[in-house]
Structures are given as structure tokens and as C-alpha cells.
Amino acid sequence: MIRTLIVDDEPLARRAVRAPLEANGDFEIVAEAGHGAAAVEAIRALRPDLVFLDVQMPEMSGFEVVEAVGEDAMPLIVFVTAFDAYAVRAFEAQALDYLLKPFDDLRFGRVLERVRRQLEMHGERGDRLRSMLSELGHAPKLVARSHGSLRLVRLDEIDWIAAAGDYAEVHSNGRTLLLNDSMASLEATLPNEAFARIHRSAIVRLERVTEIRPGAHGDGVVRLACGTELRLSRRYRQAIDAYLRR
């Protein structure tokens, strides 16, 4: 049995986790906690294998619960929240997964499968998610959405980023993922030695540029290693020219 603790300050939210867990015979709910201090006490006393942990709670957040218990003493963690802004910090805190409210049965079922696989791989008191973290390393990352879940995308895996209304699409290794960021915010935060905006609707990773074909009036076309060709606007040509002069 996978001994499980549910932590959320909202009773309805705890019930939304409890109901599908009870439908799976290999999960045992050992306790529920309505605030962070009670969660710390329950984790220390009951030593569960798994905790569904709300991020935002009065007085003590889910991250503060992890700090109070200590990462090495924490069970497997699935953070549960209505906001995706905490995703990178959640994975840095060794969370196995990150559930966005409201979630459906399919998404919850995928989480349970990940829990089962992790415990089978490392034992019920094992390393929890160090294998995943070692794959990610400490490289800078973006948080993207894919089929209702969140993915961490390493910056060195990105080919280009396209505007998508108030959002953006990151193109990485043949995949297209949605970012909850505007092009302006990405342009301001991405390292300018590695990325350049070449058009109001496109940002490229400079190392992926293989060809630049000049056009009329200072415009042009940029070809990437993946074969994609993008318009180069004269308004943004300075960054490309600076890269060519390196």
C-alpha cells in the first residue's frame, strides 16, 4: 500500500484528491491536514510515502512545509495549486509532479502512474526524483504546457519561439509547447547572448541559425538547423548582425 497524506486548507480540494485515491486499491490515505503546521507534524509522525501538498496556504506555504521537514525527510511530493507560476520552484523542491486545479481524472491517473513507477524504481523510501532532477540539471528552463500538464524546457533545447496571441509557442526538438508568457517578457528575460528577436512574432536561438538571406529594404529570411525559415525584420536586424560579428 502507498501511504498517502493530503494537505490543503480547502475541504473541497482535499475531497477532490481523496475521491480518486479511494478508487485505487493500492493507495491508503493515512491522514489529511488543513494547514502547513499540521502537515509538518503529520509527515514527521506518520512518515507517509506520498503527500499531495497545496502550495498556497495561510501562515505556511507548501514550500515552507518542505523546508521545515527537510528535503531528505520528505516523502514523494505532488504539489497541487491553481497557479502555474510556482512550477519551476516545485520541481526544484523535488516534486514528482505538479497538479493544476481543476484537474480531471485522466490527468490525476497519470500522476498516480508516475508515483507507482517512481516507487517501483527506487523503493518506497527511495530517492523520490533525483533521477529526473539530474537529467534536468541546473540549466535555465522555461515552463510550458502540454496536454494539461507542465513541462520544463531547457533553454539549450529551444529552436525558436513564436507569438501566439497573449502567449507564446516554444519549438523544441520537433515539439510545440505553449508558454504562459508574452514575446515582450521573453525578450526581456532570455539571455541576449543566446537568443534574438528577429520579428515581432519570432525569437530564435542564435546557435540554431544556419543561413541568413537578405531581402528588400533591410528585411530577410533566417533559416534554422531544424529547417524552419522565418522572416527577419529590419527593425530587429541589429541583434543578428551583432551575432555575425562575433
**What is residue 202's predicted lDDT score, i.e. its pLDDT?**
94
For the four alpha carbons of 186, 189, 190 and 192, in that order, the dihedral sign comes to positive
Q: Is the pTM of this model over 0.85?
A: no
CATH number of 2-136: 3.40.50.2300
What is the rounded CA–CA span in Å between residue 95 and residue 93? 6
**What is residue 135's predicted lDDT score, i.e. its pLDDT?**
44
Q: How confident is the model at residue 126 (pLDDT cuts 50, 70, 90)?
A: very low
Could you state, in order of their start, the residue ranges of all structural domains in the chain? 2-136, 152-244
Q: Is 117 within 8 Å of 97 (Cβ atoms)?
A: no
CATH number of 152-244: 2.40.50.1020
What is the rounded CA–CA span in Å between residue 158 and residue 244? 20
**What is residue 142's predicted lDDT score, i.e. its pLDDT?**
76
**Which one, of 199, 197, 202, 185, lies nearest residue 242 by Cα?**
197
Tens of pLDDT, residues 47-86: 999 999 998 898 898 889 998 998 888 999 998 888 766 5
Lowest mean pLDDT among 74-78, 148-152, 176-180, 210-214: 148-152
**What is residue 138's predicted lDDT score, i.e. its pLDDT?**
44
